[in-house]
Every structure is written in C-alpha cells, then in structure tokens.
Structure 1
Amino acid sequence: MSSLPKVDLSFLDLVDRCDNVHLRRDNAGLYDAAYNSERLVPLYLSESPASPVIGLLKPAIVDQLKAENERSKQIGVQELWALNLDASEPSRASFRAYLDTPSKRTAAMKELCERWRDTGLFPDVCGPKKWRAEMYPVYADPLGVHDHPLLAGYEDGLNYAFEMERSACALFGVVTYGVHMSIYEEIVEDGRTSLRIWVPTRALTKPTFPGLLDNTVAGGIPSGMSVFECLVKECMEEASIEADVVTKHSRAVSSISYFYRTSKGWLQPEVEHVYDIAIPSGVDHAPFTPRPLDGEVESFEFVSHERLLEQLRSGLFKPNCALVIIDLLIRLGYITPDSEPNYTKIINRLHGSFDYDKW
C-alpha cells in the first residue's frame, strides 16, 4: 500500500475546497468576498427587467463581450450583448432582445465558443485541449425542471433556455449538472459494521483533475438526457456496469450543490444528483465490480473505510467527489452530530443555493 501525503484535512476543510465562492452585494456591486473582492456582473437571459439571471461574469469576460459587440459593428452584424455597466446603476449583461428563442441563443453561443476555441482566446478553459464537444443545458431557473425541446417536442415556454459547449460554461458562470454514484458494501460481523467502497483513479489523460480519486461512477449530464439515462450511460462507459444492474439496484438518494471557483479563477456553480448501489449480502460480486472501459479511469480499488478516510484527509479526491463521499458517510451514519463538531455547517454547505438571491 503506497504512503499518502502528510495532510490532515477536516471534513469542513474538504467542503471549503469545493464550495469556495462567497458572494456579497453592496451599493457598489456584486463581489466574491473570498477572491480579492472581484466585481462580478450578472448575466440575464434577456433585456427585459423581468428576465431571470442565469450566470455570473468575471471582468475578463465582460471586457470580451464589449469587444464582441465592437467586432459585430465592424463586420455589419447585430450585436449579441446588451451591456449596462454604468456605475450609477446595477451592472448587468444579457442577450439582445432579438435572441428570443432557445435555438437562436444556442446558435449564437455555438459560433462564439467555437471562434474563441479556434483563436485561442481562453485556452485554459475552452481551448482545443480542453474542448469537450459536448453540449450542456442552461435553464431560466437553474434549480427548476430539467426539460428540453427534444423531450417536450417544442421549445416555447420551457425552463430550458439554450445549450452551450461544456468546457465554456465556467466562462459564463452558469450552473451545470452531473450525476455521481457510489457502489459500496457494508458487512456486519461480531456486532461491528465495516464499509468498503469502489474508488476509481482518474486517467492521467483527463483534461481536468488527472490522477485524482473519483466516485465509483460520475459524469456531467448532457443536454437532452435525463439524469437516470446519463447514469446508465456512464456506468457502462466508465465502469462496465450493465444497465440491468443499475436499473435494479441503484437508488436516487441525494443531491449536493456548491459554488466552485476553479484554480484559474473561473466560476462553476454545480448540482450533482447522487445515487447509491449497496451490494446485497450473499450475492456474486462480479456484476457490481467496476472495470475500466473508455479510458477515463486508470483503475478501481475496493477501499476500506479506514483507507477512504486517509485518502479524503490527504486531499486525494477530486474536490466535488470528496463532497459526495462525505454525503454518503453522513447518510450511512459514519459522520454524526456527536462525532463531527462541524456537522450542521457541513450539512448546510452540501446543499447550498450559490447565494443565488444575490445574483
């Protein structure tokens, strides 16, 4: 067994590493109090005063949207962005009024993001090496229904607002969505319960968090795909777990939400839908044993509770995956109000609302 880094992170420390954006609003504007009081501009869906806010923009993106409008003027096309940046009024940005349908917004964002990719404008986020070629949904109400024109058969009146390239979502501070699942076993012997959980190591070729530990199965939810459909897909692609095993044994048990700022300073609020598979006692383990398939996982290890805690406290997990593990340990009763002094803080932080009322 390899030795682990000499770090001793608390459960609250692990939450802080992931839920690391703390907004405040005053007369001068909206800021992230935890990041040099950087001023942020809300992104609205339309120019209407009643428009919902769908994202948050860093100064670098606001400046780029100004440049995009200048470019549009120079080439004789309509501007994409309505920008109100007068210091005497609350700052805001939005799509121009003519971009009034999901398909129009999607087309505009597709052209924009692909051009930024091809010109190398933000290579650390959506450059060629970071490009995912996967569309993510953006909703008028980020905490509302996950509908889609392909599922509804129409696009008017939906919560779905448009879709955009996955890698570029953090540039616009829009909420993204994923699904995570833990496959675990609990064994009771001599009155004691022992826990083991399947933990993968991310491939070194992954564009994000290479080599870190992950949840048994995890993935972002593409536009137009239901949560459970995505889970089934990821189980086979990442872990070789058959669909009938997932359908029969998985349970939707939780969701966690947090506001994450990346190491490069980009804003990524996320909601993760959480599932479990508890391996039944006395059954063949083979159907529940994950195996790498699509190259996104280096290997899987069936980790003991003690080893799991060492890995967590050593900071070896991808930040949001550590939160999913903490959520699991709370639900299974391994972290309790009596054993964890920050229990209430942790519970509340695992189910945050991104300070959405301040946007």
Structure 2
Amino acid sequence: MGKSNLDLIKECDNFPYYSDDPAFYTVHLKTYHAFKVAGCDAVLGYIPNSVVEKFYWPDCWAVDSTAQTVTLVTPPGATPAQRSELMAQTLDETVKRGNFKILHGWRNEMYPIYGPKGEFLLEMERCASPIFGIVTYGVHMTGYVEDEQGLRIWVPRRARTKQTYPGMLDNTVAGGISTGELPFECAIREAMEEASIPEDIVRAGAVPVGCVTYFYVRDERAGGETGLLQPEVEYVYDLKLDASVVPKPCDSEVEDFRLWNVDEIKEALSKGEFKPNCAVVLIDFFIRHGILTPDNEPDYLEIVARLHRRLEFPTASHATK
C-alpha cells in the first residue's frame, strides 16, 4: 500500500507536537540543547545532545549541561557582523577536525538567524544550519501547463550525485533564501539556475500563493548525520507556463524535467519518490487548485492544519520596509 497524503505530511513535519503528548514531548526535548545568543532571550534552535558532545566549542561559547543550553557569548552591543565572524571561525575549525559529514557539503551560502522581533542577529554557512536547528527560509515554485490536455506540472529529478536527496523528484524550482535576499528575487535566481526559465517569464507570471511551514527531522536521505533538525518556512509560488516554455537543467543539480499529469504525480507521491518538502508543496498545490477537496480527501482538515505549523523559534518577515 502506498503512502497517503497525510503520511507524506507527517514524514516532513515529523518533530513531535507538545499538544499530542505533553509528557513525551517534555522528555524528548531533554535530548537537545537550546541554541542561544548572548543578549537575546529567545531559543533560536535545538542541537542534539550527541552533537553538542563532539562539536568544537571555543571560548566564545558557553555550554551549560545542567540548563541544556549552548550560547554564543559576545560583548554587550555586539553587531551581527561580529557574531557572524565568531560563528564562521567556529565552523572553520570544526570543518578542519572532520567530525561532521554534513559539513562536507559546504555551499558558501549564508543563512540568516533572526531574533524574536525579526531583528537580524547573525548569519551562518548554509550546510551547518541543521547542526544548530535554526529556522531556514526558501522558495518553491510550481511550473504548470493548463490546456486542452488538462493540468500538467513540470517535475525535475535531482542529480544522483547530489549530497542531499540524490535521485529524488523535486518541485519545478526550489532553493534557499540567502541573507539579505527577498523571496521573489530568490525565485527568479533559482528559476534560471535550476530550470533555465528566463527572468522575464517569472516576473510576468509567477504568483505568490502563500507559504508552508514544517519541522523536519533529517533522515539518511538528507545526507550527513541523521536526527538533525530543520524547521523551515517555504514561500510558495505558482507559475503558469505556455506549453512552448520547456524547463531545462542549467547546472549539475538536476538530471531532467518531465511534464506529468495529476495522476502521474499522485502515483509518484504515493511511492515516496518526491523529496519530503516537495511532496508537501505539491499537496498544497492540489488543495489550492481543487484537486484535493474535503469530499475526496478523508484527512483534509489535518493536512491543511499541518501545512502551516507554528514554529517554536523566532521567524522574520521578508517584507520590504
């Protein structure tokens, strides 16, 4: 029997909920240290205890095993640049020690960390973000064709050489939002880098349709250590394309694209062929386009609720001031 839509949601949003079992949740949380920054009261992420034990913590870090906290210690009034430099130095030394496989996938992309009022605290190398369990941000765009043949979606297959989710199916365009980047600009950049879709087509046709949020516990498909945490916000866009526009791989991250109808995509979802968060975005697409409805999906209510998890850590608006 294949995976249900709710199975796919639970596979991506798989960190426990306090409301489901408070006692279990409380015990489970003891397997993590809270990541904090001096001068900010908020917990910014969860680090597994096993990671804390083997990570390199120089003098600028305070590890409190009783309170189960790991705090980046900086002087009062420290700037984001100063905090970021300390983080960079820590990660550089950790890489040299070679204790973490996930750091082999160094991207030279910086991810921001925000405080409870949306203030920018610091940035860190993308591939290290799951070690600290921070909230990360990305965009997913579904490119689709709707004509006399019905609704069809462009589906890429990830390169089998990728460190993360090799060979799995993906959304038409997807990528992480770097420090200082706006979601729509990220979508434009990724559309060209991953799918060779020109900027003018994206600017003219991409429609922002909301976001999905989830709290993912990484498994072996993600590459690197398992059990690391990824609470994420994915801004979602729809891009209706003319049939003459054919996405093509532009880098080594995608093997090919295929134009699939709804039934073909449902079958691949059921077989678990899609990267977990890409399955979530497709289910969201199906709901918004009336393909999944309260009349044909028995888990409709729970699915809709689980598409928009309220995360335990501070999040920030990307709206321009």
TM-score w.r.t. length of structure 1: 0.79
CA distance in structure 2 between the partners assigned to 1:301 and 1:206 by the alignment: 19
Letter in 2 for 1:45: V
Q: What is the SS of the residue equivalent to 1:276?
A: strand
- Determine if the alignment matches structure 1 residue 352 to structure 2 residue 314: no
Range moving further from structure 2, 335-344 or 23-32: 23-32
SS in 2 for 1:322: helix
Question: Taking structure 1 as reference, are residues 338 and 188 closer, same or farther at Cα in structure 2, changes over 3 Å only?
Answer: farther
Residue 22, structure 1, aligned to residue 16, structure 2 = yes
Per-residue deviation at 1:250? 0.3
- Are residues 273 and 93 of structure 1, via their aligned partners in 2, closer, same or farther at CA, if it must alter by over 3 Å? same
What SS does the corresponding residue of 1:245 show, helix, strand or coil? helix
Query: Does structure 2 retain, via aligned residues, the 8 Å contact 1:175–1:270?
Result: yes
Q: Quote the residue 1:179 is aligned against.
A: 139
Q: Offset of 1:97 from its aligned partner? A: 3.7
Residue 163 of structure 1: aligned partner: 123
Given that residues 30 and 41 in structure 1 are in contact (C-alpha distance below 8 angstroms), is that contact kept between their aligned partners in structure 2? no
Compute the displacement of 1:82 (Å). 2.5
State the shift of 1:101 in Å: 1.8
Larger Rg belongs to: 1
Query: Does residue 269 in structure 1 map to residue 231 in structure 2?
Result: yes
- The Cα RMSD (Å) is 2.2
Structure 1 gaps, min length 5: 1-6, 73-78, 146-158
Distance in 2 (alpha carbons) for counterparts of 1:316 and 1:237: 23
Listed as ranges, the matches of 1:39-188 within 5 Å are: 39-46=31-38, 48=39, 51-64=41-54, 68=57, 72=58, 79-86=59-66, 90-98=67-75, 100-123=78-101, 125-127=102-104, 130-141=105-116, 145=118, 159-187=119-147
TM-score by length of 2: 0.88
Q: How much has 1:39 moved relative to structure 2?
A: 1.7
**Corresponding position of 1:151:** none
User: Which runs of structure 2 are paired with 1:293-308 in the superposition (5 Å)?
Assistant: 293-308=250-265
Aligned length: 305
* C-alpha contact (below 8 Å) 2:45/2:313 kept by paired residues: no
SS in 1 for 2:31: strand
Question: What is the DSSP-based 3-state SS (H/G/I as helix, E as strand, rest coil) of the residue aligned with 2:15?
Answer: coil
Inter-partner Cα distance in structure 2 for 1:231 and 1:45: 30
Residue 256, structure 1, aligned to residue 236, structure 2:
no
Q: Is the 8 A contact 1:137 1:222 kept in 2?
A: yes
Question: Gaps spanning 5+ residues in structure 2: where?
Answer: 220-225, 315-321
Q: In the aligned structure 2, how far is the partner of 1:140 from the partner of 1:257?
A: 18
Residues 181 and 29 (structure 1), Cα distance of their counterparts in 2 relative to 1, 3 Å cut: closer
Q: Closer, same or farther in 2 for the Cα pair 1:292/1:103, shift >3 Å?
A: same
Identity of aligned residues (%): 40
Structure 1 residues 196 and 173, CA, compared in 2 at 3 Å: closer, same or farther? Answer: same
Q: CA deviation at 1:23?
A: 4.9
Could you tell me which residue of structure 2 aligns to residue 231 of structure 1? 187
Tell me how far apart the structure 1 counterparts of residues 183 and 274 of structure 2 sit (CA, whole Å).
Answer: 23
Residue type of the partner of 1:273? Y
SS in 2 for 1:57: strand
Q: Give the deviation of 1:83 after TM superposition.
A: 3.0
Query: Which position in structure 1 is the counterpart of 2:296?
Result: 339
Answering whether residue 3 of structure 2 is matched by residue 9 of structure 1, we say yes
Structure 1 residue runs of 4+, over 4 Å off? 23-31
